[in-house]
With several copies, the nearest count.
Chain A
Amino acid sequence: MRSTKLEVRELSKVFRTVEGREILALKDINLEVLDGELLCILGSSGCGKSTLLRIVAGLEQPSAGDVLINGRPLTGPGPDRGMVFQEHLLFPWRTVRQNVEYGLEVKGGPKTARAQECLSMVGLENSSEQYPKELSGGMKQRVGIARALANDPAILLMDEPFASVDAQTRSDLQAMLLTIWWGTRKTILFVTHSVEEAVYLADRVILMGSGSGHIIDTVSVDLPRPRYRVSPEFNDVRRDILKRLGFLTGE
């Protein structure tokens, strides 16, 4: 049996706005992620998906509850967790290679070979000297993934990484991600608000309620890979999830 890589226990997060109002972004979240699992977190806008990921990344302090990694509590951001952002957030003044080298530079030691290796994984070995502005949206996301991979983190946190690219590119990136996941066996937390994307990628899908900041359901996706988006089985899972999310009540 696979071990637990990441555990979230009774996690809550309250934000205080400048006017002093309190926003409950997460409420009593409990979650266990197995080593090597590809977990999708699905929910509509504002349900707290990003907040959860930022807490796991160590960028935000929880208001209550714990996050354990390999059973040890979290202390802050660290190179054991890599994060990929929706807005790509590349460093625009660095070339593709220099972006990927960032984490290695901070750590010290050799960097070029490892950067080149990560760029190959995302199929960008030939664009290493370009600046982010010269890349298409899809390429930028690839660099973001390579940059997160460079530190060889055990956990990859991905916050709607493919939300702002067009449909074709999106499906290419999804396929690429699966290949990388297969090759490296990383634990991946993948946030999305596309049901189709979650069903295509995930071992398990966590459904978050809209606006309430808690987990309403968990769905295991047992379809064999590679999955086929227009197959009836795929459509069944998609329909099941939409129903659990409350979208198909009118039917």
Chain B
Amino acid sequence: MKGNPVLGISRLGRTVVQCTSVAGFLGLWEGLVWLGLFPPYLLPAPTAVATTFVDQIGNGNIPRLLGYSLRHYALGLIWGVSLGVLLGLCMAWSRQLELVLDPIIALLRPIPPLAWIPFAIIWFGITTQAAAFLISLGAFYITLYSTYGGVKGIDWRLVDVARTLGDQSNWGIIRRIVIPAALPAILTGIRTSLGQGWMTVVAAEMFGIQGIGLKMLEAAGLLSMDVVMAYMAVIGLVYFGIDHTFRTVEDRLLRWR
């Protein structure tokens, strides 16, 4: 008896309601603009945004700028996640390392990645590295602590089982028990990093690094709010795609759950 009572509604019915709901929302919005209640720079019409969106794909802006942004994103995530997972494992496994590193990380962690922007710029300039640095910071803390928590929280009796089955070496236990048992937590950490990282990309680029974020700000300076919104749509769509893909991978890896 899980979930609240289900209305007798078919799969098709659901889809219809959902589409109607979105269509109604967009229609209302378009109507508001048509009524002339708002100047288009305060609220561009959905149709205008759609046209601009197609234009910006046609003139190659979206693919090009998205390319830059994804590069920042990928680089930052790769660094942040690898370091985070590695150090998280080590800290959960070695009490000594934990004692030494934990206070330093606890000291730095409350500073949000975006507060490092000035230093990112002064250390790396207005470059891919600066954006990647900011993204990797967030991903690092998140995956570090999720890995650490995941390893600490595994059912340690499974390690006993492995030992009775003849598995004696640390590396054997880490590889065959600790990592798979902590995998759900690690993957959750990575998924959270994907979300925060994407937000960081957009914000970091607004400080002058080529990419979608900068383009949005520049368009806003021209009061081309349809362009701003077209890029918001790009951001949303790409994130949706990334999250969806990752969830599929995650479900596949954790189908045993």
Direct contact of A and B (CB under 8 A): yes
Residue A147 lies at the interface, judged by CB distance under 8 Å to chain B: yes
* Interchain CB contact (< 8 A) of B164 among A82, A87, A93, A131: A82
CB within 8 Å: A-B pair count:
71
Contacts of A54 in B (CB 8 A): 160
Selected interface stretch from B101-109, B177-185, B211-219: B177-185
Residue A228 lies at the interface, judged by CB distance under 8 Å to chain B: no
Contacts of B181 in A (CB 8 A): 91, 93
Determine whether the beta carbon of A83 is less than 8 Å from that of B256.
no
Q: Known interface pairs A77-B164, A103-B165, A151-B165. Does A133 touch B157 (Cβ–Cβ under 8 Å)?
A: no
Alpha-carbon gap, A83 to B160, bound state (A)? 10
Residue A132 lies at the interface, judged by CB distance under 8 Å to chain B: yes
Alpha-carbon gap, A3 to B226, bound state (A)? 79
Determine whether the beta carbon of A79 is less than 8 Å from that of B180.
no
Determine whether the beta carbon of B157 is less than 8 Å from that of A151.
no
Contacts of B157 in A (CB 8 A): 85, 87, 89
Residue B161 lies at the interface, judged by CB distance under 8 Å to chain A: yes
Number of interface residues of B (CB under 8 A): 22
Contacts of A105 in B (CB 8 A): 176
Question: Of residues 55 to 114 in B, which have CB atoms within 8 Å of A's CB atoms?
Answer: none
Selected interface stretch from B34-42, B166-174, B229-237: B166-174
Determine whether the beta carbon of A83 is less than 8 Å from that of B166.
no
Determine whether the beta carbon of A59 is less than 8 Å from that of B166.
no
* Interchain CB contact (< 8 A) of A151 among B155, B166, B168: B166
Determine whether the beta carbon of A91 is less than 8 Å from that of B160.
no
Determine whether the beta carbon of A93 is less than 8 Å from that of B166.
no
Residue B244 lies at the interface, judged by CB distance under 8 Å to chain A: no
Determine whether the beta carbon of A83 is less than 8 Å from that of B164.
yes
Interface residues of B (CB under 8 A from A): 155, 157-158, 160-168, 172, 176-177, 180-181, 183, 254-257
> Can you list 22 residue pairs at the A/B interface with Cβ under 8 Å?
A57-B164, A59-B163, A76-B163, A76-B168, A77-B166, A79-B166, A83-B164, A89-B157, A91-B180, A91-B181, A92-B256, A93-B180, A93-B183, A102-B167, A102-B176, A103-B167, A106-B165, A106-B176, A107-B166, A147-B165, A151-B165, A157-B164
In the A-B complex, the 6 residue pairs with the smallest Cβ-Cβ separation, listed nearest first, are: A103-B165, A79-B166, A77-B163, A83-B164, A131-B256, A93-B180
20 extra interface residue pairs, beta carbon distance < 8 Å, beyond A87-B157, A94-B256: A54-B160, A58-B164, A76-B168, A77-B166, A79-B166, A91-B158, A91-B180, A91-B181, A93-B254, A94-B180, A95-B256, A102-B162, A102-B176, A103-B167, A106-B166, A106-B167, A106-B172, A133-B256, A148-B165, A151-B165
